[in-house]
Amino acid sequence: MFRFVTLWLSVLSLTASAYANVIVSSPSNGETINSPAHFVATANTTTCSQGVASMGVYIDNQLLYVVNGATLNTTLTLPAGYHNAVVQEWDYCGGATNISVPVEVTGKTGVWVTSPANNSAVSWMTSYLATGTSSCSKGVAAMGIYVNNQLVYVSQGSVLNTQLNLRPGIQHTVIQEWDNCGGTATAPVNVIVEGSGNTFSDIQFNKGWQSWGQLAPSYQDCSNPCSGVKWSMSQKTAAPDNTLATAFSIGGSTPYSDVLWENPLIGQFSTEGMPDTSHQMLPKLHNFSYDADFYLTDQKATQAEEFDINWFMNGVGITWGTECRIAGGNEWDVWDNTEAKWVPTGVPCNPVAHAWNHVTVNVQRGPDNEVIYQSIVLNGTVYNINQTYAPFQVPTSWYGITVNYQQDGNYKQDSYTNYLKNFSFMYW
């Protein structure tokens, strides 16, 4: 009996010490795929306290790709035919775990759509994942998405991975690839967009915008005129590319000072005619999306661009603050409501100067008013944030939803003008 128990404990110990997990999101086991093949996987371990060191992909027993960390996301060019793909993790304690993912690579050329499926029901924020292949020896140059015959997104290379904000109803979308030899191919993807999301559009042209200066280092609000910081706003004016937009300008003499513009959408002082005086709408809203195009005229002068949503009810305040540090280090920060400070996310923020940039911020109010940052999409690249914070206290008389746009001054408080257009806000 003692010998049996000892043996059983030894086996249990061996099983526990070998526990680790490799989770492959793409491709699926036995899937027929095109080349280049998109591999997405994560790994974890409970036995090595230092965690996962790296991950890799073997194709037919040959190691083709290695990345540091517990997340793998890459594309590999594979010849047509059957292949034994193996995704492996190595931990800092010398352990390793793998999972086999046999696949068949088709030799056909064209556009291969992973998601969404044709004629499928999707949410208003829809993820598009596709790859393009071509007989052109120079490869695929770019890929794009048309929505109802209008080109709305283009990415360079043979892999397309983005999110689109689609209106409810049947939407006819087409994914297209262009190769470097002048050839092209398309794949139609019709979708039925579900959901009860509501949208305010062209908010940059709304009446009722308010503004405040925020002088460094205390950043207390001050009204215009405010010694040390200057600002102005001009609606329905021509941007540098001659499109109609709203111009936001700052300057002054106090370095690192900011200007905040705010527009109330729902509740008190609503510019959309939605005061919600019966307090029936606001308690039901939990999901929000801030979507806009912004034009940078001077990256060196622009310390940061800020895109915020505020929610106030029953003494509870939530600020979903997202800040793209530009001259300040090219990184996205989010706002910690209770600590009243910016928290770096580790996510890069590299908007293009002298051009329009498209940003979408997706956030959520949790069941207990948690401040949930879901994702940020910049110029088609999706960055999952998935961070949660506690709310803060506000006067019980405050009631409503507002949106902010803010520009920050640099170390010399250089004057500059940036522009907004196509500013929309979705809530549900």
- CA angle, residues 55, 60, 63, in degrees to nearest 5: 35
Q: What is the pLDDT of residues 189-223, one digit of tens each?
A: 999 887 656 889 999 999 999 999 999 999 989 99
Q: Answer for the pair 163, 360: CB distance below 8 angstroms, yes or no.
A: yes
How is domain 2-105 classified at the CATH fold level? Immunoglobulin-like (2.60.40)
What pLDDT does residue 79 have?
Answer: 82
pLDDT of residue 145 exceeding 80, the answer is: yes
Answer yes or no: same fold for 110-195 and 199-427: no
What pLDDT does residue 195 have?
Answer: 62
CA dist., res. 393 & res. 396, Å (int): 9
Least confident of 95-109, 172-186, 201-215: 95-109
Residues in CB range of 89: below 8 A, 6 or more apart: 20, 22, 43, 45, 52, 54, 55, 70, 96, 97, 98
181 band by pLDDT with thresholds 50, 70 and 90: confident
What pLDDT does residue 7 have?
Answer: 32
Q: What is the pLDDT of residues 293-330, one digit of tens each?
A: 999 999 999 999 999 999 999 999 999 999 999 998 99
Q: How many of the other CB atoms lie within 10 Å of CB of 201?
A: 13
Least confident of 41-50, 125-134, 260-269, 331-340: 125-134
Q: Domain residue spans in the chain?
A: 2-105, 110-195, 199-427
How is domain 199-427 classified at the CATH fold level? Jelly Rolls (2.60.120)
CATH number of the structural domain 110-195: 2.60.40.10
Q: Rg for the chain (alpha carbons), in Å?
A: 25
Structure tokens at 285: 């809203």
State the DSSP string of 355-397.
SEEEEEEEEEE-TT--EEEEEEEETTEEEEEEEEE--EE--TT
Q: What's the chain's average pLDDT?
A: 90
* Reported pTM: 0.63
Q: Which has the closest alpha carbon to 39: 20, 58, 21, 19?
A: 58
